[in-house]
Amino acid sequence: MILLLVLTIFKAETLNREYNLIPFLFLFDFTNVNFIIGLLNIGANTLIFVPLGFLLYIWKKNIFFAAQFCLYTSLLIEVVQFITRRGYFDIDDIILNTVGGLLGIFICRLYIK
């Protein structure tokens, strides 16, 4: 959890409060995003929440709780980044983080069986 905070909130301040509310906009706008950077963004935003989903499922044994916790944690991080100007509020990050949490839950379920 500490690593999650360090990687998402404790970074350089941006000048403006910026946001993206259109899901997967960067996937369709190849003029502004390098393909490799786009893949790294998808991978990082997904993989960073896999351990959280895994651990939450071990703790509570409840898929809905673990998935909801990942969703709300991601939303909280994005809102804090927006308010403090420490990042860019992006709906894609929330979606990918939640998918990462779900991936962690399903890996845990496979591991436990």
39-90 pLDDT, tens digit each: 888 899 999 999 999 999 999 999 999 999 999 999 999 999 999 888 889 9
Residue type, 57: Y
CB 89 within 8 A of CB 74: no
Question: From the CB of residue 4, how many other CB atoms can be counted at a distance below 10 Å?
Answer: 16
CA atoms of 43 and 4, how far apart (whole Å): 15
Where residue 6 falls among pLDDT bands split at 50, 70, 90?
low
- What is the CB neighbour count within 10 angstroms for residue 52? 21
* Among the ranges given (5-14, 23-32, 40-49, 102-111), the one the predictor scored with the smallest mean pLDDT: 5-14
